[in-house]
Structures are given as structure tokens and as C-alpha cells.
Structure 1
Amino acid sequence: MKIRNIRFFVLLSTILLGFLSSCKKDNDDIPSLAKPQIGTLEIGSGNNKTVTAGTDLHLEGDIVAEALIAKIDIEIHQEGNGQYKFSKSYTEGKYIDVKNTTFHEHVDIPADAPAGDYHFHFTVTDRAGNATTVESPLTIQASVAKVAYKLTFTEVDGEAHGDHFHDLADKAKVEPITVSFDEQGKALAGSHAHLHPESIYKIELKQFDASSKEIQGQYIINKATADSYKAFLTGGSFVLNTNSSSGSGAIFQTKETNYGDGTVVNGALETTGIISYFTAGKDNEGEKEVTYVLRKFNNATTKATVTRADWNRSDYETKFAGQDIIKLSFELHAEAEED
């Protein structure tokens, strides 16, 4: 009986040692403390390591982090005796808590960044606390164009319903997404607006005069003035929410609540679109070329015929006689976060 027990103990010990040895070998194959790896990182268009102030810097490269990505930090500071610097961090979204990813972003370079030589730092930190940094020289060229317009996208709470939204409310700790344009409506910075397809965004139009004073209020100073203007969001061939079988289509709802003189905007047909709300919807995932248009009608009675279903019409110019006062073109990337 004792011999049988001894044999059983020896057999059990052999199996256990073999199992532990196998586990150790597997762990040796994947070092738990391996630092993140950053592949060739493209910095600037064609990897030219040059960007113009007031535009955006193209960045693209592959990242591998065995312990999963915790954050990505970008810092740019002047060389020599210059004190100017700025930074951006990614701590949530599609790049975080993944092992493999392709980082591709267009980082806005402030318009007031002095021209000259800079030093660029790109740091990936994993969940184990390991960090890897890529450094590079970077040249910032002087801004050649003044910002004349901005579109600011700020995520809000709300519920999509048919052709409009319910229960719209501001969200705390939300970083706005801004696209800046020159006088001709060409995007200077933020030209690739990355929006979550199922989120709702407040869109605010800003227009600036020669002294950088905001002047967009001129279009809605009172009802008599605002009756001549309406905003459209053209291009992109959106599936409208009213035409979506899943209820996951696009909505663009113009939604000022007051005119500049303090009187109340009365109903959907009176709204202009200096302030709007938008969702792309899951049906419209992907990249789209779009244009924000502010149109002035030849006849002030036309505005009352423009419904919430007309915002993305390809024939709006012939349907609603008038002229486009503002046309701001940019790329809209409706991209869901990766798991």
C-alpha cells in the first residue's frame, strides 16, 4: 500500500514539474516586461519632418506593446534658446489597451508657433510602466494664411430620433475638435475631423475679421436678417436617419435658440445653422469629403421651405435659389474605436 502511494506521488510530481516547466517556457517566449516597439514613424507629409504653423502634422507608424498601450504622448519644443512648446496625449480611444496598432493622426500645429527648428518626441507607455520614445528634428515654417473661419465639434449627450435630437446636454471633460480655414474655405488645420459615428456633436461656426474678432453673429442678429440664411452639410452621400432601416443614419439639425437681439428662435424652420448638432450614424462609417455651406437666399421666403430633410441635398443650389456665402471643405472620418 505504501509502495503504491509512493509511486502515485512520484507520478504526480513528474506531471506537475512538467507543467511548470512548460509554463515557464511559454512565459520566456513572451517577456512580460518587453518595452513597446515603435516601427518607422512618418513625421510630416512624405516623412519630410516639416510642417507649417496653423496646419496639421501627419504622423503614422506601427506600435507593438506586449503589456498593452497605456498612453501615447507627443511633445514638440523649440531648439536653441526658444521656450515655445506644446504637447498632446492619447489616454483613451482606439490606441489604448491594445497590443498592436497603426498610429495615424494629424496633429494641429498652433498658428502662433514661431517658425524655426524644433525637437519632436513620440513616447509610448505600456500598462507595465515601460516607455519607448522616438525623437526627431522638426521644422515649423511660418504661417502663410490667416484663419478666417473655424468649425468646432464638441461631443454632447442626447438621443437621435428621426430627423432630430432629444435631450441634448453638454458633457464634462470633452476636448473639442476644431477645423480651421482660410478666407477661401481651404482647411489649414484639423482638416481630418475624426468623429465617432454614433456620437452626437455640437457644431459651432466661427468667422473672424481682419482683427480676429468674431463676426458670425451678423447672420442671426435678428429674425429679419436670419430669414435669408441657412446652413447645409453637403457631400458624403450620407444615409439619412429617416432613410435608415436600422435607425443609425445621419442627422444634421440646425439649432440656435435665440437671435442676436435676444428674441427667441421659433421652430425648426427659423433656425440657421451657426449652431448645429450632427451625428454621422453607424450607417455612414468611413471617410467622407464634406462641405459646410452657409447659403444666402435670393428671396427671404425661401427659408421657410427648407426642412430638416434637405441638409444634404446634392441639388440644393437649384432647389433653393441664392448664393453660397461660406463654403468650408474638409474630410470627415466617422470611425468607431477599436476594441
Structure 2
Amino acid sequence: MKTRNINFLLLFTALFFGFLSSCKKDDADVPVSTKPEIGTMEIGSDNNKTVKAGSDLHLEGDIMAEALIDKIVIEIHQEGGGNFKFAKVYTDEKYVGKRNATFHEHMDIPSEAPAGQYHFHFMVTDKAGNTATLESPLTIQAADVKASYKLIFTEVKGEAHGNHFHDLADKENVEPTTISFDGTGKALAGHAHLKPAGIYKIEFKQFDASGKEIQGQYIKDKATADHYKAFLSGAAFVLNSKSTNESGAIFQTRETKYEDGTIVNGATETTGIITYFTAGKDNEGEKEVSYVLRKFSDSTIKSKITRDDWNLSDYAAKFPGDDVVKLSFELHAEEGED
């Protein structure tokens, strides 16, 4: 009897310490000394390692990090004695904390980047602090067309409510996204990569032949502005005011002053040189849209346009006039986008 009790005690003790040993082993499973691995990286269209200033650089490749991805950093600097450089850090949830990930992004190249030879650095750092780097030559070509228009998207803070926003305020350390357009309204560079639930300030810019901004002509005073209104056409958005869970789209034109300094009074007086926008989770995915600035045939028309009229498919018939500006582009409302 005593022997049986002793054997049982020994077995229990062995199982207990085996369990502790297993737990310790699980805690030590992360190989802190194993560097991340970067597979073959496509850099540029068809991996041509070439991109135009003011456009976006296609990047795609596989990453493996046993200690889990912490961040991805891209640095690009000029060769041959030049000192132009720029960088971007990716800490999106589709990468951070993952052991295996396919990196696929379109990195915006500054329009002011001088044409020439550059050096490309792609760096992956894991949770243990290990870093792996892939390097490559990169050629940046001069942009061949000067931008006639731009739309600048900057994420801000705020709350969506019905067909408008509350408590709009700037965010710190936010990198704007710019889409440039030629004189016909065709996008020269970039897409709008937006978080579905993010709120973005959209600034419309127009330039003359010398590069001077001239968008103020549409809101120089109330009498002038009464003839113009911006719309976002296409894609048949689910409007926030029609959403069952406040997850729809809002496009709120929102200048506060005319160019002559007088105050814009009321929602129907705003034009859309400055606009605030959210796509909303109800509208996730890729969409073809157009920012339209319409000049009405009668100055009384604008006062009849409500905040829910910005995406009407028949806006041209309902509000007589002419589209003086039409800028067409891709809008990507996707989680993990900047």
C-alpha cells in the first residue's frame, strides 16, 4: 500500500514539473535571434525599378518574421551627390503582429523629387528588435505633365451625425494624400486610399499656367459663390443619413469665409472648395468617383440643394448648369489604408 502511494506521488510530481517545463517552453517559443526574411520584392510596374515623380510606386513581396512583424520602413534617397530623400513607416494591422505577410502597397512619390538615380531601402523590424533590409537601385523620372488641379485629403478628428459632422479638429502628425490632375481632369498620380470610418478634409486646388492657385475665384464673394457647388458623383454611396448604424457616407461642403473675408452663413451657402468626407464602413472597397464643381444657370438654385444631394445620379438634370471642373479618380476605402 505504501509503495502504491509513493509511486502515485512520484507520477504526480513528474507530471506537474513536466507541465511547468512545457509552459516555460511555450513562453520561449519566440526565437528572438532569428531575423525576418524578405522574399523577392517587385519594385515598380513589372519590377522595372522605375517610377515618375508625382505618381505612386508599386511594391509587392512576401515577409516572414518568426518573432512577428513590428514595423516596416521604406527609405529612398538620391544618389550621385543629391540630398533629396523621403521615407514612410507602415504599422498597419495587416502587417504588425503577423508572422507571414504579403506586403502590397502603392507608395506616393513626391512631385518635387528631382529626376535621377535613387537608392531604395526596405526594412522589416520584428518584435524582438531584429531587422532585415532589402536594397535596390531605383530610377525616378521627371513628371511629364504639370498639374492643373489637386485634391488634398487630410485625416481629421470628428464625429459623423446624420448628414454632417460635429467637433471637427486637426490631427497631429498626419500625412496628407494628394491626387494631381491634368487640364482634362484625368488623375496624373495617386489614388485616394482612405480608412472607411476615417474623416478627411478635402481641399480643392486649381492652378494657372504659372502655377498660381486660382480656386478662390469661385468663392471670391457671396454673389459669385451662389453660382457654384461641389458634388461627389459616382459609386452610389450609402448615405450616412440613410444608414441604419451611422456607417454611411457624408460629403459636407464647409468653407467658413468667402475670399473677401465675409462669413459664410448656413449650410446651403457653402461651395466645396473645402469639404469634409467619410466613406463609412457601408461603402468599403474600390470605387470610381468624380469631384465635380458645377456652375448653375441661376443663382437661386444653390439655396435648394440639401446636404443629402451631393451624390445624386441625376444632379445635372435636377440642378441646371455646367460642370466647370470634373476630376475623376479611384477611391479605395479599405481597412489598413493610409
* Deviation readout 1:49-73 (Å, 9 max, x if unpaired): 1111111111122223222222111
C-alpha displacement of 1:92: 4.8
Aligned 8 A contact 2:290 2:329 in 1: yes
C-alpha displacement of 1:229: 0.7
Aligned 8 A contact 2:30 2:67 in 1: no
- 1:324 counterpart residue number: 323
C-alpha displacement of 1:32: 4.2
* Deviation readout 1:16-51 (Å, 9 max, x if unpaired): 565467668778986343222223322111222111
Q: Distance in 1 between matches of 2:241 and 2:97?
A: 36
Residue 157 of structure 1 aligns to a residue whose secondary structure is strand
Residue 167 of structure 1 aligns to a residue whose secondary structure is strand
C-alpha displacement of 1:104: 1.9
Residue 217 of structure 2 aligns to a residue whose secondary structure is helix
Q: 4+ residue stretches of structure 1 with deviation over 4 A?
A: 1-6, 16-30
Aligned length: 337
- 2:135 counterpart residue number: 135
Q: TM-score, normalised on structure 1?
A: 0.91
- Superposed CA RMSD in Å reads 2.4
* Deviation readout 1:62-105 (Å, 9 max, x if unpaired): 22322222211111122333332221112355432333332222
Residue 112 of structure 2 aligns to a residue whose secondary structure is coil
Q: Output aligned runs, 1:184-223, within 5 Å.
A: 184-190=184-190, 192-223=191-222
2:274 is the alignment partner of 1:269: no
In structure 2, the CA distance between the partners of 1:236 and 1:100, relative to structure 1 (3 Å rule), is farther
- 1:67 counterpart residue number: 67
C-alpha displacement of 1:261: 0.8
Q: Output aligned runs, 1:27-106, within 5 Å.
A: 31-106=31-106
Counterpart residue type for residue 315 of structure 1: D
Q: Distance in 1 between matches of 2:72 and 2:107?
A: 13
Q: Output aligned runs, 1:167-186, within 5 Å.
A: 167-186=167-186
Aligned 8 A contact 1:41 1:61 in 2: yes
Q: Distance in 2 between matches of 1:157 and 1:80?
A: 42
Q: Distance in 2 between matches of 1:34 and 1:336?
A: 30
Aligned 8 A contact 1:56 1:188 in 2: no
Residue 218 of structure 1 aligns to a residue whose secondary structure is helix
Q: Which runs of 5+ in 2 are unaligned?
A: none
Aligned 8 A contact 1:38 1:62 in 2: yes
Q: Output aligned runs, 1:280-291, within 5 Å.
A: 280-291=279-290
Residue 185 of structure 2 aligns to a residue whose secondary structure is coil
Q: TM-score, normalised on structure 2?
A: 0.91
Residue 35 of structure 2 aligns to a residue whose secondary structure is coil
Q: Distance in 2 between matches of 1:48 and 1:24?
A: 48
